[in-house]
Amino acid sequence: MQTKKLKIIPLGGLGEFGMNCLALRWEDDIIVIDAGLMFPESELLGVDIVVPDISYLVENKQHVRGIVLTHGHEDHIGGLPWILSELKVPVYATEFTLAYVEGKLEEHHMLDETELVEIQPREKFKLGIFTIAPIRVTHSLVDCVALAIEPPVGVVIHTGDFKIDLSPIDNKPFDLHTFAEYGKRGVLALLQDSTNVERSGYTPSEQAVIPRLDEIFSRTKKKLFFSCFSSSIYRIRIALELARKHGRKVAIMGRSMVESSEIAQDLGYLDIPPGLVINPGQMRDYNPEQLMVLISGTQGEPMSGLSRAAVDNHKHAKILPGDTVLLSSRVIPGNEKSIFRVIDHLYRREANVIFDDGSHGLIHVSGHGCQEELRLLINLVRPKFFIPVHGDYRHLREHAQVALNTGVIDSSIVIEDGDVLELDAKNARKNGKVSVGRILIDSGSNSDVVEDLVIRDRRILSEVGLVLLVVAINTRTGQVERPAEVVARGFGGADISDQARDLVMSTLNTLSGEERTDYGQVKEKVRVELKRMIQKSTGRRPLIMPVILEM
């Protein structure tokens, strides 16, 4: 009698969006699917990123066979440097995903010491007891895979992030046949992306944005600033093709946009005709109607190219009256304030701003499947057990119900981070919990080592130090209304308050009135300067929390 069981243990992403990370264990073999980060909510002052607590993996270090990545988005790969610093294991991913990972590890000086293994759709590989088959899926990013994993007890399929794009830009189709074959042979469990479970119908193909974007190119008389997620390789490809068609040269700005388009070009995902892309410095040789600027910053990130251009603080990206700024992206919930601040600045520059407010036509499509796609895949795979992944608790619950209503599964099981789900061929049951949580990381804007400040329950704040900073700014005039308040704790006596206050005030003085009306910019600039100064003068790297009092 088989008494061994497969354990499914989510460490992040089940009960929240972001920092996806899930462990599968069979006896003494553990594999990890994805190693993501999440961006902190605004409540988490002074923290840049959040990664999952992987104590469970660290405690079982000798059993972890490797990390397998489904695709290259930050919420699936962004936690790698911190996780690999505690866990030396090989990383498996497709070519494009590995290119992103390499950049990330190089930045943290960890590339040489990490074993990276390229995988291919339909090419099975072994990891401990597990046989793993990557299956091609479509998403907003290229080279994405689902994973069919075979422990001795049956097949478990993890979809990763996906939509079912039946006319993909790169002609690499979603591999419906392989899912169908697994479904025919029998699948024990399907773990499926819940992101868009609240939306009925189908997500439109990436192709669906072309007509409206084409029309915008036609109607734009001056410079066109095209902004999208820098990982949206398909969207970048569409933008470049439209620029060529409409006789515009392309200048690429913003670090992430430059890096991402270089990787995509190197790997053949972008085929850029010679002469199409110019250096930003060459823009002066062309008339406005001959130029498109591909620029990052759709979410109003304070230091992004677009945010800086919006307050006229970008060397090359000069937005003039009559220019068009197109945000080919969605407003990620929580980012409204910063995005609309940027948009207001753009209006003040008298730019024509086009963003996804429901009235500008289809200028963006989601990378995640809606209800019909979720149902379709469940129908193809026909798993015994259905386990929703990636979402707030309500998404998981709704997804479980959607799956049950298809009538093709035995049962839906809602688990959350830390739950241990045990499966054999017949039964599934929750059995215990492992320790999970969020690790807050203050990486600083120009940090390049993994020794970033990590705050967790094991350390107390007074050990690392804490600097609270209160700045009062008139948000209409940008005037600083009184000297900054600096409250420093935990420096073992070193009094940096006066020095810090002077630095904050002089940093604020370097900003234009318009920049000072933008919280995001103020917070980030002050934080970076203060961090640099404190590190230099005390050797400490405290947590710095800027608080803006808007007057």
Strand (E) or helix (H) holding 250: strand 249-253
The β-bridge partners of 391 are: 14, 16
Residue 302 CB, shortest distance to a second copy, in Å, is: 13
Among 485, 502, 514, 541, binds a second copy (CB under 8 A): 485
Does residue 457 touch a second copy according to CB under 8 A?
yes
Among 103, 204, 280, 437, binds a second copy (CB under 8 A): 437
Does residue 126 touch a second copy according to CB under 8 A?
no
How many CA atoms within 13 Å lie on the side-chain side of 156?
Answer: 29
Among 212, 348, 501, 532, binds a second copy (CB under 8 A): 348
Does residue 320 touch a second copy according to CB under 8 A?
no
Does residue 259 touch a second copy according to CB under 8 A?
no
Among 58, 166, 362, 549, binds a second copy (CB under 8 A): 549
20 or 230, CB closer to a second copy? Answer: 20
Residue 20 CB, shortest distance to a second copy, in Å, is: 16
Does residue 417 touch a second copy according to CB under 8 A?
yes
Question: In degrees, to the nearest 5, what angle opens at C-alpha 258 toward C-alphas 253 and 261?
Answer: 125
Non-local (6+) Cβ contacts of 502 within 8 A are none
Among 35, 389, 436, 453, binds a second copy (CB under 8 A): 436
Answer for the pair 140, 84: CB distance below 8 angstroms, yes or no.
no
Residue 489 CB, shortest distance to a second copy, in Å, is: 6
164 Rama class: left (phi>0) / alpha (psi -120 to 50) / beta: beta
Answer for the pair 403, 378: CB distance below 8 angstroms, yes or no.
yes
Does residue 455 touch a second copy according to CB under 8 A?
yes
Does residue 337 touch a second copy according to CB under 8 A?
yes
User: How many Å apart are CA 241 and CA 236, to the nearest integer?
Assistant: 9
58 or 461, CB closer to a second copy? Answer: 461
Does residue 37 touch a second copy according to CB under 8 A?
no
CA 535 to chain centre: 29
DSSP letters for 416-472: -TTEEEEE-SS-EEEEEE----EEEEE--TT--SS--EEE-TTS-HHHH-EEEEEEE
218 or 462, CB closer to a second copy? Answer: 462
Non-local (6+) Cβ contacts of 427 within 8 A are none
Non-local (6+) Cβ contacts of 484 within 8 A are 469, 470, 471, 501, 504, 505, 508
95 or 312, CB closer to a second copy? Answer: 312
Residue 402 Cα distances to 13, 200, 386, angstroms: 19, 11, 10
User: How many Å apart are CA 352 and CA 449, to the nearest integer?
Assistant: 41
User: How many Å apart are CA 97 and CA 255, to the nearest integer?
Assistant: 18
105 or 488, CB closer to a second copy? Answer: 488
Q: Beta-carbon neighbour count of residue 406 at 10 Å? A: 16
Among 393, 445, 506, 535, binds a second copy (CB under 8 A): 393
**Segment contacting a second copy by CB under 8 A, of 100-108, 124-132, 239-247, 328-336:** 328-336
267 or 376, CB closer to a second copy? Answer: 376
Does residue 199 touch a second copy according to CB under 8 A?
yes
Residue 354 CB, shortest distance to a second copy, in Å, is: 12
User: How many Å apart are CA 139 and CA 374, to the nearest integer?
Assistant: 13
**Segment contacting a second copy by CB under 8 A, of 285-293, 341-349, 374-382, 445-453:** 341-349
User: Collapsing DSSP states into helix, strand and coil, what is residue 538?
Assistant: helix
**Segment contacting a second copy by CB under 8 A, of 29-37, 65-73, 148-156, 343-351:** 343-351
x/- site string to a second copy, residues 206 to 245, per CB under 8 A?
A: ----------------------------------------
Does residue 548 touch a second copy according to CB under 8 A?
yes
- Summarize as ranges the residues that interact with a second copy (CB under 8 A): 15, 40-45, 198-200, 333-334, 336-337, 340, 343-344, 347-348, 353, 357-359, 392-394, 397, 417-418, 436-438, 440, 455-457, 460-462, 466, 468, 470, 472, 474-476, 481-482, 485, 487, 489, 519, 545, 547-551
